[in-house]
Structure 1
Amino acid sequence: MPEPLNIVFAGTPDFAAASLQALLDSPHRVIAVYTQPDRPAGRGRKLTPSPVKTLALEHGIEVRQPQSLKDPEAQAELAALEPDLMVVVAYGLLLPKAVLEIPRLGCINVHASLLPRWRGAAPIHRAVLAGDAETGVTIMQMDEGLDTGDMLLKARCDIGAQESSGELHDRLAVIGAAALSDSLEGIAAGTIRREPQDDSLATYAHKLEKQEGELDWRQPAKALAQQVRGLSPWPVAFTRLGGDNLRVWGATALDGTCDDPPGTIVAADRDGIQVACGEGVLSLTRVQLPGGKALDAAAMLNARRDTFAIGTRLGGA
């Protein structure tokens, strides 16, 4: 068994906290944690620590929150730790070349896709939006490019037919933590095999924008169902209903054909509010009106059946 590594961890959200916990449960030593500065949150806009900071402080680990790692002083402080390895998981700050060269074994990243399939900010959402059947986590040796470094280990998983980005995110956090643990012994011993990425297979996972949520009923029902799942829990798909936005949290594409104009409600029962699409029918299973809570179809129809009368047009048509 190789000697335990002195590790600096850099990460911010819940996804990263799962990997930090895996390191804390390992024989290796987490000597410092880097995370984003506290951000305002909630109705009171109170400064709130990141999940990674909260976990680190619970275990008595030093936390550092620089605005940037491009600052020579911040780089000197990191170098003074003399880390063997830096583990980066959804940190949110770019690591310049000077930082990548500080740890003895470099910097590795837990990336939520099977590289090079989805590089960039939103690999989980983009996989669901694209209708991918499979995704996973790649442990990657970081370089100066955007998710372009050599691959050290891959862990694969299927994407469920009705799985949302939020549900997949939670599964991949666990898978990523396990993959990180599996990779550390080989990294420490210098025996892990590095596999270069094929850049020709890369796709950029653009950051999500709120306007991507609007449903275009001229599209096939299958594509719209993927859109709903891919944008849950943020920014959430929506459609126009009269003068309001109806948020769509859950939807299922139904088999069969429909001759009604796209956006027309063609049926509504406890199982869903069925809407004609450019191809097929989309059943809205969980929706939210302005000022109200997200409700399943049965509860929404009990409260507002007239709002979803057959023949009503969605999408401003």
Structure 2
Amino acid sequence: MLSSLRIIFAGTPEFATQHLYTLFHYSRHKIIAVFTKPDSFSGRGKHLIMSSVKIFALEKKLPIFQPLSLNTSETIHQIAEFNPDIIVVVAYGLLIPKIILDLPKFGCINVHASLLPRWRGAAPIQRAIIAGDSETGISIIKMNSEIDSGDIIYQVRCNIFQNDTSKKLYDRLAYIGANALLEVLDNISKGNSMISHSQNEMLSTYAKKISKKEAKINWTLSAKQIVRYVRAFNPWPISFFTLNDKNMNIKVIDAQILSVNTSIRNRFSKPGTISATNEDGIQVVTGDGILNLTLLQQPGKKVVSAKDMLNSKKDWFIPGIILN
């Protein structure tokens, strides 16, 4: 039994920071080092951006390391010298070689935002929403050399609600994951046996990384599918369509499914066609059903209701216009 574990924490985005925050403030364990991805250039001005985890670690004066790769003799030696009891990995973004996985007394554990083996990979939250899953959760696994395929130590389930965006689900899972991590670490430090089980490879699915080009709305999909994309891509990369005559992309922040009106479908059969506009929104024909756009954003402008956009830009959204 150990009163306190010596922990190396490896993570990069805000999701990881919330776990690091909880470890730092609410556990008795000692964070001896923080590993995060190197600073990256972002935005039109190509400013150097620090990761959310690095910002927190700097504030708390935790030792920070940002190697380009963990598979170097220098990094392996650094980690070995720290003599960690365990390495905690949350959305780190770099592969961890087997030699490092085997260094700590209790190995390396990973907090993953899905019910593994479903949605292994980089974007489990978004892919679960896009697929129309009714639930997801947090999995804590003993890491091996394959991506998100280690034995499952602990799982917590979480419902996905109809109005959930990635941000809403992300926040719930971060809270659940951080508390689950505390429980797992406390059990390990107390010497309690954590019963694990292997993943069923037959049930595995892969959550590939989200790309900006996916955010362009495909009007041939059903209204139900498009709404899922809108929710999944909020807050990033945000779904959008193009006004052809303006050569302008309009972001869709929120949308709703409307029941199919056969007279509208007969009049406007091509997906992407604006079928009607009113104070409730802008109605667009899809491959199956009518989609009502309710919150929109022009480039460089604030988010507004469709009603407000129609008040100033009604000629942009005349029924019969085809959105791209």
Q: What TM-score, normalized by structure 1, do the two folds share?
A: 0.95
Quote the offset at 1:174 in angstroms.
1.4
Q: What pairs up with 1:131-280 in 2 under 5 angstroms?
A: 131-188=132-189, 189-242=191-244, 243-258=247-262, 259=265, 260-261=268-269, 262-280=271-289
Quote the offset at 1:2 in angstroms.
4.4
| Equivalent-residue separation in structure 2 for 1:89 and 1:263 (angstroms) | 40
Query: Which position in structure 1 is the counterpart of 2:313?
Result: 304
Query: Which position in structure 2 is the counterpart of 1:3?
Result: 3
Residue 91 of structure 2 aligns with an amino acid whose one-letter code is: A
| Equivalent-residue separation in structure 2 for 1:99 and 1:29 (angstroms) | 19
Do structure 1's residue 16 and structure 2's residue 25 form an aligned pair? no
Quote the offset at 1:31 in angstroms.
0.7
Tell me whether 209-218 or 119-128 shows the greater mean CA deviation: 209-218
Q: What pairs up with 1:72-91 in 2 under 5 angstroms?
A: 72-91=73-92
Quote the offset at 1:238 in angstroms.
1.9
Cα displacement string for residues 81-110 of structure 1 (whole angstroms, at most 9, x for unaligned residues): 000000001111100001101111000011
| Equivalent-residue separation in structure 1 for 2:261 and 2:187 (angstroms) | 54
| Equivalent-residue separation in structure 1 for 2:34 and 2:66 (angstroms) | 9
Q: What TM-score, normalized by structure 2, do the two folds share?
A: 0.93
Unaligned runs of 5+ in 1: none
| Equivalent-residue separation in structure 2 for 1:190 and 1:43 (angstroms) | 51
Tell me how many residue pairs correspond in the alignment.
315
Percent identity of equivalent pairs: 47
Query: Which position in structure 2 is the counterpart of 1:53?
Result: 54
| Equivalent-residue separation in structure 2 for 1:47 and 1:235 (angstroms) | 20
Quote the offset at 1:197 in angstroms.
0.5
Quote the offset at 1:43 in angstroms.
5.1
RMSD: 1.6
| Equivalent-residue separation in structure 1 for 2:300 and 2:62 (angstroms) | 42
Residue 30 of structure 2 aligns with an amino acid whose one-letter code is: R
Query: Which position in structure 2 is the counterpart of 1:282?
Result: 291
| Equivalent-residue separation in structure 2 for 1:217 and 1:48 (angstroms) | 35
SS in 2 for 1:215: coil
| Equivalent-residue separation in structure 1 for 2:170 and 2:178 (angstroms) | 12
User: Are the structure 2 counterparts of residues 207 and 106 from structure 1 closer, same or farther at C-alpha, using a change threshold of 3 Å?
Assistant: same
Quote the offset at 1:288 in angstroms.
2.3
Quote the offset at 1:44 in angstroms.
4.2
Tell me whether 234-243 or 169-178 shows the greater mean CA deviation: 234-243
Query: Which position in structure 1 is the counterpart of 2:38?
Result: 37
